[in-house]
Amino acid sequence: MIKTIAWQDNRVVMIDQRKLPREEIYVVCSDYRQVIEAIKAMVIRGAPAIGLAAALGAALGAQGIAARDPGEFRQRFEEICREIGKARPTAINLAWALEGMLAKAESAAGRGVSGIKNLLVREARRLVSQDVAINRALGRAGQEVIRDGDTILTHCNAGALATGGYGTALGVIRAARAAGKKVRVLADETRPFLQGTRLTAWELARDRIPVTLITDSMAGHFMKKGLIDRVIVGADRIAANGDTANKIGTYSVAVLARAHRIPFYVAAPCSTIDPRIKTGKAIPIEERDEKEVTHWAGQCLAPAGIQVLNPAFDVTPASYITGIITERGLLQAPFGRSIREALRGKGEQMEAGRRRREATAKSGKKTK
Ligand code: MRU
């Protein structure tokens, strides 16, 4: 299995996804700020993998805190988590992982600083293996919607590289193959960052899963010809009503799928659902460097000074989604209800954690 990210000898090690598939090299971070830079620069990307990088980055940051007093330590740890939380805005897994790390630090209040530090490393590593287990469970649930012989269109990379391993959308495909179904994948190239060309094509070919690369604008053509049976994509944030933010271009694929009566599935762990956001309108959409659009292999292809827009994600309304595949099973419309049932109180738990920390921070200020 591809090792996306790991904790090794008090460092965070991740495969450099900017270099794939030409070079398989690893970036080693010995400071949490390097982890932040790696997330921003897309060394590591994909919502669950960003969450894991955040958790491991926080554990790394914790190791470097000099404070001996647990209260001071926790204050500095919260600052570090806040810094990491700003690395990228759309994938909710980033905030989710940091909430978990902060809650862990709080729960260890009775231990000394070195005990808390050890606990945070253990928790971050546990999140990595938990993510793989979640993807496998999600894959098992999702493969039920796939028939033997299906050709599946996917957009961006929601594979092992975008997670702790195995993948979400690609995890469903892996599980279908493991169940003996012969499936083929059409991978959209995914302009402008080419996650489909560079990453999805690479990881599927490596696993000998039949994959054919197409440009984004070819999807409608192949749907019209009856050559696509299902669409499965990942997600960066799912609102309480099922509206889903994913890589730019996903919405166009969903509209095309609806026009051709092709089932359109989102595969994501429950940690990608943000119950505090009611609809997709409130999901923040990252705007990335215009060079991703104007440049090709370091060369500018566009006229100098041209205006550029580069939103990294779009939102697919829930009404275009046939089902959301999670580790807790297939969620169907009405999504508001199925999501609530799948989460059972996750929103309240996160909110309570946030309020507790706010209260601790305020009382800390007063006593100064
Ligand atoms: O900009 P990226 O490469 O981080 O965007 C990734 C995606 O949009 C993925 O489809 C999503 O994060 C799901 S990954 C399991």
- The pLDDT confidence band at residue 100, using thresholds 50, 70 and 90, is very high
Pair 95, 38 in one domain: yes
CATH of the domain at 267: 3.40.50.10470
Q: With CA atoms as reference, report the closest residue to 161 among 50, 23, 49.
A: 49
Q: Which one of 45, 190, 197 would you pick to mutate in the ligand 1 pocket, going by the greatest count of ligand atoms within 8 A of its CB?
A: 45
Q: pTM (2 decimals)? A: 0.94
Instruction: Determine, yes or no, domain membership for 350.
Output: no
Final residue belonging to a domain, choices 136, 158, 186: 136
User: What digits encode the pLDDT tens for the residues 22-49?
Assistant: 999 999 999 999 999 999 999 999 999 9
Instruction: Determine, yes or no, domain membership for 282.
Output: yes
Instruction: Determine, yes or no, domain membership for 319.
Output: yes
- The pLDDT confidence band at residue 365, using thresholds 50, 70 and 90, is very low
Q: Is the CB of 44 under 6 A from ligand 1?
A: no
Instruction: Determine, yes or no, domain membership for 77.
Output: yes
Q: Is the CB of 90 under 6 A from ligand 1?
A: no
Task: Please report the pLDDT score of residue 108 as a whole number.
Answer: 87
Pair 26, 148 in one domain: no
- What number of residues does the chain have? 368
Q: Which one of 154, 246, 310 would you pick to mutate in the ligand 1 pocket, going by the greatest count of ligand atoms within 8 A of its CB?
A: 246
Instruction: Determine, yes or no, domain membership for 314.
Output: yes
- The pLDDT confidence band at residue 2, using thresholds 50, 70 and 90, is confident
Task: Please report the pLDDT score of residue 346 as a whole number.
Answer: 61
**Which residue minimizes the CA distance to atom 8 of ligand 1?**
247
User: What digits encode the pLDDT tens for the residues 189-231?
Assistant: 999 999 999 999 999 999 999 999 999 999 999 999 999 999 9
Residue 304, pLDDT > 50, answer: yes
Instruction: Determine, yes or no, domain membership for 367.
Output: no
Pair 63, 156 in one domain: no
Q: Which domain holds residue 13?
A: 5-136
Phi, psi of 245 (to 5 degrees): -90, 130
Instruction: Determine, yes or no, domain membership for 268.
Output: yes
Q: Count of domains in the chain?
A: 2
Q: How far is the CA of 199 from the centre of ligand 1 (A)?
A: 11
Contact 145, 265 (CB under 8 A): yes
3-class DSSP state of 302: coil
Which amino acid is located at 152 in the chain?
I
Residue 174, pLDDT > 60, answer: yes
Pair 201, 301 in one domain: yes
Section 238-245 average pLDDT: 98
Pair 114, 194 in one domain: no
Instruction: Determine, yes or no, domain membership for 88.
Output: yes
Q: How far is the CA of 72 from the centre of ligand 1 (A)?
A: 36
Pair 110, 149 in one domain: no
Q: How far is the CA of 47 from the centre of ligand 1 (A)?
A: 5
Q: Is the CB of 324 under 6 A from ligand 1?
A: no
Task: Please report the pLDDT score of residue 1 as a whole number.
Answer: 72
Pair 15, 153 in one domain: no
- The pLDDT confidence band at residue 109, using thresholds 50, 70 and 90, is confident
Active-site amino acid positions: 236
Pair 98, 177 in one domain: no
Pair 65, 161 in one domain: no
Pair 162, 129 in one domain: no
What is the Cα–Cα distance from 234 to 316, expressed in whole angstroms? 12
Final residue belonging to a domain, choices 121, 136, 151: 136
What is the Cα–Cα distance from 328 to 149, expressed in whole angstroms? 26
Pair 238, 265 in one domain: yes
Q: Is the CB of 235 under 6 A from ligand 1?
A: yes
What is the Cα–Cα distance from 134 to 50, expressed in whole angstroms? 16
Q: Name the packing angle between helices 70-85 and 113-142 (round to 10°).
A: 40
CATH of the domain at 98: 1.20.120.420
What is the Cα–Cα distance from 206 to 20, expressed in whole angstroms? 12
Residue 347, pLDDT > 60, answer: no
Q: Is the CB of 161 under 6 A from ligand 1?
A: no
Q: How far is the CA of 114 from the centre of ligand 1 (A)?
A: 35
Q: Is the CB of 89 under 6 A from ligand 1?
A: no
Q: Is the CB of 52 under 6 A from ligand 1?
A: no
Contact 43, 91 (CB under 8 A): no
User: What digits encode the pLDDT tens for the residues 120-131?
Assistant: 999 999 999 999
Residue 367, pLDDT > 50, answer: no
Pair 208, 325 in one domain: yes
Structure tokens given for 309: 């827009």
Structure tokens given for 54: 């955040």
Final residue belonging to a domain, choices 136, 165, 181: 136
- The pLDDT confidence band at residue 362, using thresholds 50, 70 and 90, is low
